[in-house]
Structure 1
Amino acid sequence: MSDGYSSTPSQRKPSAQRIAEASYKRTLTRLDKIQQHIADTPRANKLKGKVAIITGVGSLKGIGRAAALLFAHQGARHLYLIDYVEDNLPNLKETIESKYSDVKVTTIQADAADDKAISSLCARAILEEGRLDVFFANAGIATGTHIWDTDAATFENTMRVNALSAFLALKYGSAAMKKLSDDKSDSWGSIIMTASVAGLRAGAGSADYSSSKAAVISLAQLGASQLPDTNIRVNALCPGLIETGMTTSTFDYARAKGVAGKIGQLNPQRRFGMSEGIAQVALFLASDDSSYINGQAIAVDGGLSASHPVALGKMW
């Protein structure tokens, strides 16, 4: 019996490639909306009057830059922005000042893992503004080497940049946040550290990178426990796969191979993330909206870390 409709199986059912392409187009549309979110959101002054330090702001696609723009949008009084490479700092300063004339911007070329640089910067914030309210320790590096190909020098350098920088932010940032002034009658502050899902469990990074990010999470927990009765909160952000300057090579390779639609397919949202999405969580932790969140490692990964590995259709 014929129903008058004749087609091949491939015509009746979309191919895996067509499904993937359609899914990727939806992902790009969604990511475009996320990137435009800041422009469409009224300034709510969630950081009004706050003084903040952000490290690792140099990448044009990075979390630090996105956070700096968002913090300015939400009324931060003075932003001290640091990166190891100076190249993109003038552009970031100009971009913020042209959009937000009420926000002071100071850019510094410095190593976030340099004891003297960070102690001096925190002291400078107190000298110039009488307070420090937010320290977003975002600076970091990543490697992609197998454990057998990772030498001691590489491991030590990754730990220095990723973990030592977080330690210095905690040490000097918390000390500055406890200082009182005419402008600040009680201690208060939020220290935010960029960790990674690689620090939560294995499978998302190299040995040196994963170890360093696990150390960052531990520092956030330790910081919260050692700063009681100070109103200073310490938390870690654990991004999943995010398109930043650090991951550019992975994304460029996939696009060159024509398999960009497969990026981020391991998480339930079936997509990768953007720096703007991480910056929104950093803003939440920096503001009073998160006043009772302390000592936490918050995964922002599309649900990647929510499940043990499972072959869908096999168990459920």
Structure 2
Amino acid sequence: MRFSGKSIIVTGAGSGIGRAAARLFASEGGSVICGDITAAAEETADMIVAAGGAAHDIIMDAGNEEDVIRAVAVAGEYYGGLDVMFANAGISGGMANIFDTDVALITEVLRVNLIGPYLAIKHAAPKIAERGGGAIVLTASVAGIRSGAGSPAYSASKAGVINLAMVAAQQLSGSNVRVNAICPGLTETGMTKPTFDYARSADKMDRVGRLNPLRRGAQPEELAKVAAFLASDDASYVNGQAIAVDGGLSSSHPVTKQEYGKTAV
């Protein structure tokens, strides 16, 4: 029960990693504000309550400052304050290259994926500090580490999130508020659903995630567990870090693969 007595906000809680994290936080005693831009936030909260947990849903745009302020206020209203912020909401922005991407699209991706986490830090950190400290976890991506895992807009936004975690950790020195990021690899979420659905229908699941050493994609619960670790006191000395959770994909530059137990030719 790592989150007993803790008040937690999860953005993007309507599906994928956000929903899995919200349910995990609640199962370990946390009281969760489930934020999402869709009514799926209510579905997540209902799941938590049905399982005996504490949750409240809120419709919010994670890249809108007024909505973020309201979410933090709701945490105070329902649960007396805030201990953990999981700024998880994000959008993909498609896969167009630099020359075919509209500026309006890049602007929207940056608004949600980068300004959203910035707003989460700006408004959550002071409230968390008031409670004696806690944690902020941001969802970045392996696409923010190097090229090859997302569009230019998405990749740039997630690189910004990684750096934002580092800068925020420094600027919150002495507050006892830790800021870290998770960098998911290919994970089965609403964003990647078409890829996984196609692979299953075409009997090609063996090709999903084949470039990482574990040779598979991840499930949202696997990412949620890492987010929960970073949000908990188990990670009390982890700060300003970006943790890749990608099956080992980002551990190597492109090379010819060698099968385990076989001699390279």
Does structure 2 retain, via aligned residues, the 8 Å contact 1:267–1:302?
A: yes
- More displaced, 248-257 or 264-273? 248-257
Residue of structure 2 equivalent to 1:65: 19
Instruction: Report the residue type matching 1:124 in the other structure.
Output: V
Aligned counterparts, 1:69-148, within 5 A = 69-76=23-30, 78-86=31-39, 88-100=40-52, 103-142=53-92, 143-148=94-99
Instruction: Report the residue type matching 2:70 in the other structure.
Output: S
Residue of structure 2 equivalent to 1:152: 103
Match of 1:165 among 107, 116, 127: 116
Residue 189 of structure 1 deviates from its aligned partner by 1.3
Does structure 2 retain, via aligned residues, the 8 Å contact 1:263–1:271?
A: yes
* Identical counterparts, % of pairs: 48
Residue of structure 2 equivalent to 1:55: 11
Alignment root-mean-square deviation, CA: 1.5
Residue of structure 2 equivalent to 1:12: none
SS across alignment from 2:105: helix
Does structure 2 retain, via aligned residues, the 8 Å contact 1:123–1:176?
A: no
Does structure 2 retain, via aligned residues, the 8 Å contact 1:220–1:295?
A: yes
Q: Deviations over 1:53-101 (max 9, x none)?
A: 0000112xx000000110011111x211110111x2332222111112x
SS across alignment from 1:273: coil
Match of 1:204 among 126, 144, 149: 149
Residue of structure 2 equivalent to 1:30: none
Query: Within 2, Cα distance between the matches of 1:279 and 1:129?
Result: 22
Query: Within 2, Cα distance between the matches of 1:197 and 1:156?
Result: 21
Residue 126 of structure 1 deviates from its aligned partner by 2.8
Aligned counterparts, 1:258-269, within 5 A = 258-269=203-214
Structure 2: which 5+ residue stretches go unaligned?
Answer: none
Match of 2:191 among 214, 236, 246: 246
- Structure 2 vs 1, CA of residues 216 and 285 (structure 1 numbering), >3 Å: closer, same or farther? same
Residue of structure 2 equivalent to 1:41: none
SS across alignment from 1:112: coil
Residue 133 of structure 1 deviates from its aligned partner by 0.5
Which structure has the larger Rg?
1
Query: Within 2, Cα distance between the matches of 1:312 and 1:254?
Result: 22
Instruction: Report the residue type matching 1:109 in the other structure.
Output: I
Residue 127 of structure 1 deviates from its aligned partner by 4.0
Residue 315 of structure 1 deviates from its aligned partner by 7.2
Does structure 2 retain, via aligned residues, the 8 Å contact 1:118–1:169?
A: yes
Residue of structure 2 equivalent to 1:18: none
How many residues matched? 260
Query: Within 2, Cα distance between the matches of 1:219 and 1:157?
Result: 18
Q: Deviations over 1:140-171 (max 9, x none)?
A: 00022222211100100000010011000010
Residue 244 of structure 1 deviates from its aligned partner by 0.6
TM-score, normalised on structure 2? Answer: 0.94
Query: Within 2, Cα distance between the matches of 1:208 and 1:254?
Result: 25
SS across alignment from 1:54: strand
Residue 254 of structure 1 deviates from its aligned partner by 2.2
